[in-house]
Amino acid sequence: MNGLMMQQQLLISSLLVHADRHHADQEIVSRRVEGDIHRYTYRDLARRSRQMANALAALGVKDSDRVGTLAWNGYRHMELYYAVSGSGAILHTINPRLHPDQIVYIADHAEDQVLFFDLTFLPIIEAIAPRVKTIKHFVAMTDRAHMPRETKVANLLCYEELLEAQSDRYEWPQFDENHASSMCYTSGTTGNPKGVLYSHRSTVLHAYAGALPDVLDCSANDSILPVVPMFHVNAWSLPYVGCMVGAKMVYPGPGLDGKSLYELMESEQVTLSAGVPTVWQGLLGYMEQNGLRFSSMKRTVIGGSACPPAMTKKFNEAYGVHVLHAWGMTEMSPLGTVCAFKPKHLKATQEERYAVQAKQGRGVFGVDMKVVDPNGRELPWDGKSSGDLLVRGPWVIEKYFKGEGGDPLVDGWFPTGDVATIDADGYMQITDRSKDVIKSGGEWISSIDLENIAMAHPAVAMAACIASKHPKWDERPLLVVMKKPGAEVTREELLKFYEGKIAKWWMPDDVVFVESIPLGATGKMLKNRLREQFKDYKLPTA
């Protein structure tokens, strides 16, 4: 017997309709590429999104056509989030930090029909325009006054002119909630990037989960600044969560330096922000140098790569900001775990709470996970047994776009490529990427643990630990360190800093100081490049 309840499809457009009806006067604030601060409301967002849906139809965009974006976090990008997906087309957010050759490959593989871009990325557009095969229109996301006077791109269209030519009368179509809504290509694979195709159902369910108190804890009383890019896994769902709960949204545009972020956070009374550790390093450094404090910030979500415990401690003790350590993947939409406390942790000591916050957190409802040994046997949740992390859930990938790479699942579970433990309370902790783990004398050494200790040293800006060949032990840890500007620390001082914090056999065999550590398009350290750079490095023989 079936239940006797209405069958309403979970569609992205319903989030916008809800925001328009219940939070019409809530603000959306954006720092624009043009240099000014733009303000409008959810009512304006809804109206302009309907106009853009009409504009897309006028450009010949049909159901399931892919529409690309190369854009910063801003109100026009948010309009495209709703206009494209809501009209039945598929939003394809492209990472502008990728090499032009990769952008060409991705746009061609997705078969994008239209590409919207912020003016910052005009040089990229000029480089790829003659090479892409399917894109029929390039649209500059600006008004007529700021359109480039000279460009190599033929018949370049203006976003605001497209919009103004259309009526704001538009009925969002109703279709199956499993219809594709958006796509993002993952940078975490070898070879060419693979497309991850999200559905309306997966996206709305993911937004529901993200807003929960034990996840991102969002409400209409929040002022949310997503530092995580809208071109990277839908800005961790925050543009959707914003409409769902009616929160004020604050978009930083291209201003991701410490000074720009701090000033925007203060002027707009931001309560919640989210981003990767490398961005927060810049913000904390700027605040420390200038003796600044937050007046409204309450919590920040840190993910993308492991948050160093020293950063969690600095946010909490120096600035009164609670860190929510999170983990996920492009293939997971991306939320998998968030490190929210249980009641017993509120009675624990501060150091015990920091130990919990060092973990990636508890599984969000909708995400099931397990760790397995090399034979696929599930390991106990004891916080010690380390194995390959597998996940499944309604917003986890089933297969890649166009079937690239074959079936990625193992008995219905997605292998994340992470090595992890899960404790008795369900808190998962990443100990390494499977390709980054160091195997010394048949025993595993966690590169993340060694990096976190180095990052706690006051002279260290960034640290990466990689495996270096060893004639006796097969592999040993090599620590690659970038010092803070003006700071000094020697190899001996840094190695002494490890004493008492790890088992002696985990101690790095050597330290190499570098001017910079290569970062990927999403702010993660590129250890593969470091491994290539130091592949012939000779460890000390003492």
Is the Cα torsion angle 100, 101, 104, 105 positive or negative in sign? negative
Distance CA 5, CA 195 (A): 35
Closest CA to 167 of 296, 53, 247: 53
Q: Show Cβ contacts of residue 234 under 8 Å, excluding neighbours closer than 6 positions.
A: 81, 93, 182, 184, 198, 203, 240, 333
Task: Enumerate the H helices of 31-89 as residue ranges.
Answer: 42-58, 75-86
Burial class for 354, CB neighbours closer than 10 Å (0-12, 13-18, 19+): middle
Q: Which amino acid is at 264?
A: L
Contact assessment for residue 422 and residue 428, using Cβ atoms and an 8 Å cutoff = yes
Distance CA 185, CA 194 (A): 5
Q: Two tokens at 288?
A: 């420390």
CA distances from 355 to 91, 348, 352, 389, 427 (A): 39, 11, 5, 21, 11
Is the Cα torsion angle 69, 106, 89, 182 positive or negative in sign? negative
Contact assessment for residue 390 and residue 415, using Cβ atoms and an 8 Å cutoff = yes
DSSP secondary structure letters along 492-542: HHHHHHTTTTS-GGGS-SEEEE-S---B-TTS-B-HHHHHHHTTTPPPP--
DSSP character for 145? G
Distance CA 296, CA 280 (A): 17
DSSP secondary structure letters along 223-267: EEEE-S-TTSGGGGGHHHHHHHHT-EEEE-TT--SHHHHHHHHHH
Q: Which helix (H) or strand (E) holds 31?
A: strand 27-31
Contact assessment for residue 166 and residue 55, using Cβ atoms and an 8 Å cutoff = yes
Residue appearing with tokens 């809800």:
18
| 3-state secondary structure at position 22 | helix
CA distances from 98 to 327, 384, 519 (A): 22, 37, 11
Contact assessment for residue 259 and residue 265, using Cβ atoms and an 8 Å cutoff = no
Q: Which helix (H) or strand (E) holds 289?
A: helix 277-290
Q: Looking at the annotation, which residues are catalytic? A: 186, 331, 439, 444
Q: Show Cβ contacts of residue 446 under 8 Å, excluding neighbours closer than 6 positions.
A: 431, 432, 437, 438
